[in-house]
Amino acid sequence: MGIRPGVTYTLGILCIILLIVSIALLVSQVFLKTVENYVKREVQLKNGSAAFETWENPPPPIYMQFYFFNVTNPKEVLQGKKPFLEERGPYTYREYKPKENVTFTDDGRFVSAVTPKTYVFVPELSVGNPEVDLIRTVNIPVVTIINMAKYSSFRTLLTEALLTFESEGLFTTRTVHELLWGYIDPVLAAIHLILSDVDEYFGLYNKMNGTDDGDYLFLTGKMNYKNFTRIVKWRGNQSLDWWTTDTCNMINGTDGTSFHPLITKNETLHFFSSDLCRSLYGTFEQELSVKGIPVFRFVLPNEVFANTSENPANSGFCVPADNCLGTGVLNVSVCRQGAPIILSSPHFYQADQKYIDDIEGMHPSKTNHETYLDINPLTGLLIRAAKRVQVNVYIEQVTGFHQTENVQSLVFPVMYLNESVLIDDSSASKVHSMLLLTEVITAIPFMMMSLGLLFGLIFIILACTNRNEDKEGSEAERAPLLKSS
283 φ/ψ angles, rounded to the nearest 5 degrees: -125, 155
Q: Residue 9: name the closest of 454, 458, 459 by CA.
A: 459
User: pLDDT-derived band of residue 477, with 50, 70 and 90 as boundaries?
Assistant: low
Bridge partners of 87, per DSSP, are 69
Please state, in angstroms and rounded to a whole number, the distance separating the CA atoms of residues 21 and 14.
10
Q: Residue 16: name the closest of 464, 454, 460, 456 by CA.
A: 456
Poorest-confidence range of 44-58, 62-76, 122-136? Answer: 44-58
User: Which helix (H) or strand (E) covers residue 440, if one does?
Assistant: helix 425-442
Count CB atoms within 10 A of the CB of residue 264: 8
Please tell me the predicted confidence (pLDDT) of residue 333. 92
> pLDDT (tens digit, 9 = 90+) per residue, 231-269?
999 999 999 999 999 999 999 999 999 999 999 999 999
Q: Is the pLDDT of residue 434 over 60?
A: yes
Please state, in angstroms and rounded to a whole number, the distance separating the CA atoms of residues 178 and 172.
11
Please state, in angstroms and rounded to a whole number, the distance separating the CA atoms of residues 328 and 164.
36
Please state, in angstroms and rounded to a whole number, the distance separating the CA atoms of residues 356 and 358.
6
Q: Is the pLDDT of residue 446 over 80?
A: no
Please state, in angstroms and rounded to a whole number, the distance separating the CA atoms of residues 371 and 216.
23
Please tell me the predicted confidence (pLDDT) of residue 437. 65
Side chain identity, residue 182: G
User: pLDDT-derived band of residue 179, with 50, 70 and 90 as boundaries?
Assistant: very high
The H-assigned helical ranges of 85-198 are 140-149, 153-166, 176-181, 186-194
Higher-confidence position of 269 and 39: 269
CB neighbour list of residue 201: distance below 8 Å, 6 or more residues apart: 182, 183, 184, 185, 188, 207
Please tell me the predicted confidence (pLDDT) of residue 316. 92
Q: Is the pLDDT of residue 60 over 80?
A: yes
Please state, in angstroms and rounded to a whole number, the distance separating the CA atoms of residues 432 and 424.
12
CA 117 to the chain's CA centroid? 17
Residue 240 DSSP one-character state: -
Side chain identity, residue 230: R
CA-based R_g, the chain, Å: 33
Higher-confidence position of 199 and 93: 93
Higher-confidence position of 174 and 157: 174
Burial of 135: CB neighbours in 10 Å, binned 0-12, 13-18, 19+: buried
CA 335 to the chain's CA centroid? 21
| Angle of the 30-42 helix axis to the 3-28 helix axis, nearest 10 | 50
User: pLDDT-derived band of residue 402, with 50, 70 and 90 as boundaries?
Assistant: confident
pTM of the predicted model over 0.75? yes
How many residues does this entry show for the chain?
485
Q: What percent of the chain has pLDDT over 90?
A: 62
Q: Residue 60: name the closest of 273, 272, 293, 377 by CA.
A: 293
Poorest-confidence range of 18-27, 268-277, 400-409, 424-433? Answer: 18-27
Please state, in angstroms and rounded to a whole number, the distance separating the CA atoms of residues 134 and 136.
7
Average pLDDT rounded to a whole number, residues 387-412:
93
Please tell me the predicted confidence (pLDDT) of residue 249. 96
> pLDDT (tens digit, 9 = 90+) per residue, 361-381?
999 999 999 999 999 999 999
Residue 43 DSSP one-character state: S
Please tell me the predicted confidence (pLDDT) of residue 432. 78
Count CB atoms within 10 A of the CB of residue 224: 13
> pLDDT (tens digit, 9 = 90+) per residue, 181-229?
999 999 999 988 888 888 899 999 999 999 999 999 999 999 999 999 9
Q: Is the peptide bond before 413 cis (omega within 30 degrees of 0)?
A: no
How far, CA to CA in Å, does 481 sit from each of 183, 469, 470, 476? 118, 20, 19, 10
Average pLDDT rounded to a whole number, residues 68-74:
97
Please tell me the predicted confidence (pLDDT) of residue 321. 76
Please state, in angstroms and rounded to a whole number, the distance separating the CA atoms of residues 384 and 386.
7
Q: Residue 302: name the closest of 277, 327, 267 by CA.
A: 327
Please state, in angstroms and rounded to a whole number, the distance separating the CA atoms of residues 215 and 221.
19
Q: Residue 375: name the closest of 385, 366, 367 by CA.
A: 385
User: pLDDT-derived band of residue 12, with 50, 70 and 90 as boundaries?
Assistant: low
Please state, in angstroms and rounded to a whole number, the distance separating the CA atoms of residues 16 and 466.
20
Longest dimension (CA), the chain: 142
Average pLDDT rounded to a whole number, residues 83-103:
96
Mean pLDDT (the chain, rounded): 87
Residue 254 DSSP one-character state: B
Q: Residue 152: name the closest of 398, 410, 405, 408 by CA.
A: 398
Q: Is the pLDDT of residue 270 over 90?
A: yes
Q: Is the pLDDT of residue 112 over 80?
A: yes
- Of the ranges 2-6, 10-14, 94-98, 433-437, the best mean pLDDT one: 94-98
Please state, in angstroms and rounded to a whole number, the distance separating the CA atoms of residues 298 and 320.
31
Helices and strands of the chain, counted as H and E runs: 12, 19
User: pLDDT-derived band of residue 485, with 50, 70 and 90 as boundaries?
Assistant: very low
Please state, in angstroms and rounded to a whole number, the distance separating the CA atoms of residues 49 and 42.
7
User: pLDDT-derived band of residue 50, with 50, 70 and 90 as boundaries?
Assistant: confident
How far, CA to CA in Å, does 63 sit from each of 67, 213, 408? 13, 18, 36
Average pLDDT rounded to a whole number, residues 456-479:
62
User: pLDDT-derived band of residue 1, with 50, 70 and 90 as boundaries?
Assistant: very low
